[in-house]
Amino acid sequence: MYFKLSLRNVKRSFKDYAIYFLTITFAVCLFYSFNSISAQKAMLDLSSTQSDMIDVLMRMIGAISVFISVVLAFLILFANRFLIKRRQKELGMYMTLGMSKYHISRILVMETFFIGLMSLAVGLGLGVLLSQGLSVLTGALFKVDMNAYEFVFSTEAMIKTVIYFGIIFLVVMVTNILVMSRYKLIDLLTASRKNQKLKLRKTSTAVIVFISSLILLGIAYGMMLEYGLFYDIAVFWVSIALGAVGTFLFFFSLSGFLLNVLKKNEKLYYNHINMFVLRQINSKVNSTFISMTIICLMLFFTIGVLSTGFSLKESLEKELDQTTPYDATLYDYVDGEEVGTLKEAFNNLELNEYGDTIVFTRHRTDERIINYLKPYSTRDSNKFLDQDRGVDLEVMKRSDYEELVKMQGKEPISLKGEEVLLLTNRTNLKESIRHFVEQEEKIKIRGESYPITSKGMQMLSTKTDSVAMEFMTAVLPDEMAEQLPVFSVTLNVQYEEGKQGVADEKVQEARRMLNQRSDLSTHVLGTTKTGAYERSTGTSAVAVYIGVYLGIVFLISSAAILALQQLSEASENMERYSMLKKIGVTQKGVHQSIFKQVFVYFMMPLALAIIHSIFGIKVVNDALLTAGQSSVLLPSFITAGVIIIVYGGYFLATYSGYKSIVK
Amino acid sequence: MPSIMQASHIEKYFGNKGNVTKALDDLSFDVEKGDFVGIMGPSGSGKTTLLNCISTIDTVTTGHITINSQDITKLKKKHLEKFRRDELGFIFQDFNLLDTLTAFENIALALTIQGEKPSEITSKVQATAEKLEITSVLNKFPYEMSGGQKQRVASARAIVTNPSLVLADEPTGALDSKSSRLLLESFEKLNQDLDTTILMVTHDAFTASYANRILFIKDGKIFNELVKGQDTRKAFFNRIMEVVTLLGGDADDVF
């Protein structure tokens, strides 16, 4: 009998359950797809480094999934509480009929079980579909080719999903039983009749808090725009913290402030039932400003990650093209007698059987580059020069320069007499140096004055590295460069065709060997081009992947929380709307009021999140423009599309659910 | 006196074939402008059904109801909503005030729904509030008011739009006797000073004694009608009690 009753309950209250069911299904679907990455490996043509990266990704997703399942558990508990609240009267009726709490709990447990089972099944089904598409994303992120299409199914991920969600449902059941055992019959029966007390805030407080929230947000935006993304991690976190506090105060005071402002505008306030709508929103926001803040920040994260993650990754890779002109590089910072030892060691590595090699030295000047570039600083270089005051000009020999450029398959700029050429591989210094060589005739290095070549400056990397660290280098005639103390010794290798695999291993082995030699006190650094690429794409791919995973979960959670808050209010508002109808508000008017209310409620956190994101995206875009060129326009549109679909879908579901509850 | 409301031969059936309940059975009466009519009857007599039909919340099965020379049984749903908004004022047993709005806003809402000019609203609400002696609570929320105050705010909301007819459904049902008396005195005042037409449903003889005319309903039919005329309220009350005793059941039924 109880079995039948609970099954019928689920069927009957399907409308109430719709959002609950949808949310759990989405959650299961995402959870499964992102945990099925190891199975997707089958479809991808991975190198061993990439395979390692996927393993790292797997471990990270495993860890993040624990966090995500906690988020989802709270979400599901929240949704469940809403359902129970909605049905208090019904449960009260069961009790008056003489059903014991034990039996009612049993009905609830069974209902949870049905819903859980159903959403788990549907969610897993959708998840299997989604994971097929996800492997395309994985391939693109890791820059690997797809093998022939294979059907991806991960038993491991499925078992994991079932276990995690099984635990969540168990928690839900236990909470239901606990909640039931605490209810009193009278509370259940009169649940719908309680009058809500209003928390009121003084106008002056609201205005002061509101203005200070705007100031805080302004400071946060200003700091971000001023210092950019990569200036200092502390500055970054401070501005994020200021922004979060600002957001909190914003929602804390928003409704009080807005209500007071709008009240002054009689035309608006006394227009139809605007008064009622505004008061409704006011009272709701007044009691939910904490969740509003969290939702706003979650949406900001989602928008930010989805719209900039891919571009950020891409531009990091573009920078990599610039900084990896050779197939392999070994280098070391040395001076004095070790220079000779190291040079000899590099030459004896016998790497020339795999291709062309070059060993060259860089020399120290102890001249700060800021002293040259300060008058010619641009906005980009300014930020950089401010923080890296300690960077010195380096010098290299003209003959080395010519050979290095030729090895890259380019034509060196021809230099005559004492002419000096300036090099950099930093995008953010390029303009400054260009201005410098255009305006100045001569450059003074260690008291000597050299003419600057009229052929400009050059963007050039003289070794392979995963980051651009060659700030400013002067190419001097050999004999003049040799007078300066040596700063570092570098070995570059350009492989012959087809020898890449063996050569890479050989280079790594050579590096290990050098580091074991007792006559060299320092540590030889270096990387191969493949290594730099795989590490860089791998790391950024892992970051983007996890960002997307979290972003989508956050988006769904935000929308679901808003939807449930509105729907739980709908049942409380049923009476208010029937009152309105009694005093002559038309059905259409009621629907309009519901629409406005739900719309404003959904838009408030989104609107602020969008404003946050506009600044955030601008900052990222600026950072990208100085690194590699990549626009965030397309990803932003895609993000907007995703948000419109998910968020809009929840909005419409809420609106229609609200209407049917009030009817 | 022109008649503001006419009910002619109205009938209301509930149920379906084979099992029909006649809630209203060939009922006819008139309400004139400035009248204060009480409708009394025991539970199940059909008085709430009657009120619902007059207030256009429900429809009659047959017959016609004319309010302000409009036949509401022939109005379309859209017009009904407009009609209810413009011609009728409601007072309910449980006040039906919106708890999120202040007293002032609750009253103003009736005006804004009609599309009243914002500039007129404050003065109209103030004027009505003065008549009902609730100016001191205008800025309070319903939960800060007593039952009597709430019901007077609800009354203010009902009359602020100057409706043709005010319908009151057990207005004293949730009030103590002192608040009831105050409220009913306000009704009396509104009726006498402003010529407000009031139709009040109640089963309480004391409440009914404030009306000028009382219709007694039993089993969907008009069972009796009393007119106050020149009687004092006390005398009228005693006459009402007599009918109520009769209504309670015929002596024949007991034996």
Residue the block writes with tokens 């949730």 = B174
CA separation for the pair B246, B242 (Å, rounded): 6
A580: contact with B, CB 8 A cutoff: yes
pLDDT in tens, B149-199: 999 999 999 889 888 899 998 888 888 888 889 889 988 888 888 888 999
- Chain A residues 276-335 within an 8 A CB cutoff of chain B: 276, 279-280, 282-283
Helix, strand and coil content of chain A, in percent to the nearest 5, comes to 70, 10, 20
CA separation for the pair A189, A220 (Å, rounded): 50
CA separation for the pair A584, B78 (Å, rounded): 11
**Taking the CB of residue A329, how many other CB atoms lie within 10 A of it?**
23
B113: contact with A, CB 8 A cutoff: yes
**Which of B82, B88, B112 comes nearest A270 by C-beta?**
B112
pLDDT reported for residue A101? 79
The answer to whether B100 contacts A267, with C-beta atoms less than 8 Å apart, is no
Inter-chain Cβ pairs, chain A and chain B, closer than 8 A = 82
- What interhelical angle do A88-96 and A48-86 show, nearest 10? 60
The domains located in chain B, with CATH, are 3-98+164-254 (3.40.50.300)
pLDDT in tens, A201-233: 567 788 889 999 999 999 999 988 887 776 667
From A273's Cα to the closest Cα of chain B, the distance in A is 6
* Helix/strand/coil for A327: coil
CB A491 within 8 A of CB A431: no
**Phi, psi of A71, rounded to the nearest 5 degrees:** -60, -45
CA separation for the pair A154, A131 (Å, rounded): 9
Name the band, by pLDDT with cuts 50, 70 and 90, for residue B255. Answer: very low
Chain B residue numbers with beta carbons less than 8 Å from the beta carbon of A589 are 113
pLDDT reported for residue A302? 92
CB A268 within 8 A of CB B118: no
A81: CB partners within 8 A, 6+ apart: A175, A179
pLDDT in tens, A98-156: 888 788 888 888 888 888 888 899 999 999 888 888 877 777 777 777 666 677 788 88
Structure tokens at B156: 């203010």
A51: CB partners within 8 A, 6+ apart: A41
Total residues found in chain B within this entry: 255
- Contacts made by residues A262-269, CB under 8 angstroms, sequence distance 24+: A266/B118, A266/B119, A266/B121, A267/B118, A269/B118
pLDDT reported for residue B44? 80
Residue B253 clears pLDDT 50, i.e. is over it: no
CB A58 within 8 A of CB A24: no
The answer to whether B112 contacts A576, with C-beta atoms less than 8 Å apart, is no
Structure tokens at A366: 């102890």
For A100, counting Cβ atoms within 10 Å of its Cβ (0-12 exposed, 13-18 middle, 19+ buried), the class is exposed
Instruction: Look up the ipTM and state it.
Output: 0.80
pLDDT in tens, B49-102: 888 888 888 888 899 999 888 888 888 877 887 888 888 888 888 888 888 888
Rounded to the nearest angstrom, the gap between the alpha carbon of residue B242 and the centroid of all alpha carbons in its chain is 23
A649: contact with B, CB 8 A cutoff: no
pLDDT along chain A (663 residues), means of 10: 75 74 87 83 70 80 88 84 77 81 82 86 91 80 71 86 91 84 72 52 80 93 81 81 93 84 82 85 83 92 86 76 87 81 83 86 88 80 68 90 90 88 86 88 87 88 86 90 89 84 83 80 82 78 84 90 85 82 83 92 93 87 64 80 90 89 79
- Chain A residues 138-197 within an 8 A CB cutoff of chain B: 195-197
Question: With a threshold of 0.90, does the pTM exceed it?
Answer: no
Compute the half-sphere exposure of residue A300: CA atoms within 13 Å on the CB side of its CA.
21
* Helix/strand/coil for A460: coil
The answer to whether B100 contacts A583, with C-beta atoms less than 8 Å apart, is no
CA separation for the pair A370, A392 (Å, rounded): 8
* Helix/strand/coil for A325: coil
A99: CB partners within 8 A, 6+ apart: none
Helix ranges (H only) for B94-247 are 103-114, 118-131, 147-159, 177-193, 205-208, 233-247
From B78's Cα to the closest Cα of chain A, the distance in A is 8
Chain A residue numbers with beta carbons less than 8 Å from the beta carbon of B143 are 195, 197-198
Name the band, by pLDDT with cuts 50, 70 and 90, for residue B250. Answer: low
pLDDT in tens, A603-617: 999 999 999 998 888
pLDDT in tens, A556-606: 999 998 988 888 778 778 888 888 887 778 888 889 999 999 999 999 999
**Which of B81, B99, B143 comes nearest A584 by C-beta?**
B81
The answer to whether A195 contacts B143, with C-beta atoms less than 8 Å apart, is yes
Name the band, by pLDDT with cuts 50, 70 and 90, for residue B215. Answer: very high
The answer to whether B105 contacts A279, with C-beta atoms less than 8 Å apart, is yes
Name the band, by pLDDT with cuts 50, 70 and 90, for residue B254. Answer: very low
- Chain B residues 2-31 within an 8 A CB cutoff of chain A: none
